[in-house]
Amino acid sequence: MIHNDSGKVRYTSWGAARQVTGSMHLVTTPSGYTVLIDCGLDYEKRDQFEARNAHFPFDPATVDLVVLTHAHIDHSGNLPNLVRQGFTGPILCTGATAELSAFLLQDSLNIQRGELARMRESRSRKFRKKGKRHHAPVADLQTLYNNKHIQLVQEQTVELGFRKEWRADEALSVEFFEAGHILGAASVLLRIAVPEGELRLGFTGDLGNWGSPLVKDPVPMPALDYLVSESTYGGRMHQNLNDPREELAHYIRESCEKFNGKLVIPAFSVGRTQSILFTLNRMYHDGLLPRIRVFTDSPLAIRSTAVYNGNRHLLNDEARAFAEKHGSLFDFPGLQVIQDEMSTEIIGEYNEPCIIVSSAGMVEGGRIQQHVRMNIQNPFAIILIAGYCAEGTLGHRLLHGQRTVEINRSVREVYAKVARTDVFSAHPDHKGLLRYFDGVANPKLKGVFLVHGDETCMQALAADVKHCPVHIPNKGQSFLLDA
């Protein structure tokens, strides 16, 4: 509970304010009941990772409830740290989100441990260079949390299905609406009792596109008083929105078929990899996939794919009908799932034309770096970037035509073709966001808050929202909401 003598609902934006990552939104009811929507990691400045994530701007013990919109680490990744620092309440999310986030939190901890080992090694090297014999100080180098805290997150998790009202206390209830985006992703409707009656506050979470390959279309929340919306692609339009099968067929032709080359697709393990494998499977059944090997090389993607398979009721009609007819969503002849790290080398030595799908999507970290390094000097290879690449990432440098790049400490000239497609994007573009706002528009809507976007994207989107006043909160800015 947080003391609230304003008599009103207070909304404070503590993360993803004028930036994309680190989603964290605090809502306090007039009676003081406090809900945190998402608790994600802030990746905005890589060298400030620890400083931006280690401490919370509020006491975690005063939070009564966490609602998690979806499993992506920029929404869920700081939850174990919240628990470590005293949060003991329930964590409400869909079943699929609970399953996926268990893998993602473990993966994030492994990445933190790897970074830490590198930092310790580099500190020791500097010490040795200076001729000092004793060990470099490492006490300040720590991960944000450990396995015990991931375990506690799981123990505190309460699963809630879509369109079921969950009562938190006499003054607050929560309901999930399909957000699209990735499996289990939810938009969150809070119904809060206020002296005037009821206040309805909605959070989009991350939205998906209409007509996505696997997940359902986003469902706008009804009769809102206020909406807190993502704005990732505000002001930007997705390009070349062909049928995903045609799009992949084109790049397969231009690499594997015409030149016996390779098609390398960097893809996030959760969401994008499954969309691509499902599309390839559909192509196989449509006779559009040539007889070439398809390698998928990401342990996390393999585990996430199993969660998609186990939650088919959450998929769209087309995907469910396909699974019913063909038995499998993702398996087709020619697909080779790589389980261990050694096999990454084996793909490198495979000389036939093939498709390689591996993480991470921005070509930062993960096994994809090795595949890109091995193919970047092959003029018959295409590196197909299938989504947004943040500034400072290798994907961003490749997309901007850099001719020489450094990968895993080796410098490489770029001879491969670098291409980009938006057909697998997991976010709506400018038009899609406006379509969503049209869906929530109602006479009592009093305000839209834009979060989860670059400032220029938010400004461009705000200029086109006609229904009600638009706010772009600063980090830590609070708003008192009138019913």
Q: Which is nearer to Zn ion, 21 or 81 (CB)?
A: 21
42 contributes a contact to Zn ion by CB under 5 A:
no
Neighbour-count burial for 81-102, b at 16+ CB within 10 Å, e otherwise: bbbbbebebbbbbbbbbbbbbb
Q: Which stretch binds Zn ion (CB under 5 A): 37-45, 66-74, 222-230, 379-387?
A: 66-74
Token pair in block for residue 26: 């605090």
Q: Which is nearer to Zn ion, 338 or 360 (CB)?
A: 360
The least CB distance from residue 271 to Zn ion, in Å, is 8
Which is it for the CA torsion 113, 75, 62, 50, positive or negative?
Answer: positive
452 contributes a contact to Zn ion by CB under 5 A:
no
Cα 315-320-326 angle, rounded to 5 deg: 140
Select from 114, 95, 40 the least CA-distant residue to 73. 40
Q: How far apart are CA 147 and CA 152, in angstroms?
A: 9
Taking CB under 5 A as the criterion, the residue among 10, 25, 72, 303 binding Zn ion is 72
Q: Which is nearer to Zn ion, 77 or 353 (CB)?
A: 77
Q: Which is nearer to Zn ion, 42 or 206 (CB)?
A: 206
Q: How far apart are CA 437 and CA 392, in angstroms?
A: 32
| Sequence letter at residue 309 | N
Q: Which is nearer to Zn ion, 206 or 454 (CB)?
A: 206
Segment 186-245, which members bind Zn ion (CB under 5 A)? 206
The least CB distance from residue 298 to Zn ion, in Å, is 17
The least CB distance from residue 70 to Zn ion, in Å, is 6
The least CB distance from residue 58 to Zn ion, in Å, is 23
Q: Which stretch binds Zn ion (CB under 5 A): 8-16, 70-78, 144-152, 326-334?
A: 70-78
303 contributes a contact to Zn ion by CB under 5 A:
no
Q: What are phi and psi of 83, to 5 degrees?
A: -65, -40
| Cβ proximity of 319 and 329 under 8 Å | yes
427 contributes a contact to Zn ion by CB under 5 A:
no
Helix-helix angle 317-326:272-285, to 10 degrees? 50
The four Cα atoms 127, 129, 131, 132 give a dihedral, to 10 degrees, of 10
Beta-bridged to residue 158, according to DSSP, are 92
Q: Which stretch binds Zn ion (CB under 5 A): 31-39, 67-75, 140-148, 360-368?
A: 67-75
The least CB distance from residue 123 to Zn ion, in Å, is 34
Q: Which residues bind Zn ion (CB under 5 A)?
A: 72, 206
